[in-house]
Amino acid sequence: MKKTIDAIVEGGKATSGPPLGPALGPMGINAGPVVAKINEMTHAFSGMKVPVKVVVNTDDKSFEVHVGSPPTSELVKKEAGIEKGAGNAEAPAGEISFEALVRIAKGKSSNSLGKHLKDVAKEVAGTCKSLGVKIDGKDARVVIREIDGGKHDSLLK
């Protein structure tokens, strides 16, 4: 029989404490190897919250770890070098380059509702707006209008 544990952990820093340890213990699974595997697989997302899914076969005590993509806001904050978004709309929290926006959009395209990279880039820009992060010194709404107007088509192929 298989059971699934969904958790959000900090990349590379999962522990055998909650939420993993208490969920694995009653299944008779040693949390150490599971945590080690999660940390190995999430190391590249250090400092970001990452969704993980642990699928445990309770019959033979084997497990599989599946790592999801961090939320777009986490990727934007990491790229901008900030820990949280702006408290007010007047003072920007940080800034990213348009190239960074495209990189994030490419990374999120597999689990986005957008059909094209252009759509996903606009979603990322919307997240930038919510966080108070400027894109190449411009308000995210301006960048979204530029994307719609075709200004960045060469980068969004």
Phi, psi dihedral angles at 17 (to 5 degrees) = -80, -170
Longest dimension (CA), the chain: 57
Name the residue range of residue 45's domain: 2-67
Q: Burial, 43: exposed, middle or buried (Cβ in 10 Å; 0-12, 13-18, 19+)? A: exposed
Q: Can you give the pLDDT at residue 63?
A: 93
Q: Can you give the pLDDT at residue 89?
A: 59
Say if residue 130 is in the same domain as residue 85.
yes
pTM tops 0.75, yes or no: no
> Which of 13, 41, 67 is where one domain is finished?
67
Say if residue 54 is in the same domain as residue 96.
no
Spans of the chain below 70 pLDDT: 88-90
In the block, residue with structure tokens 């926006």: 101
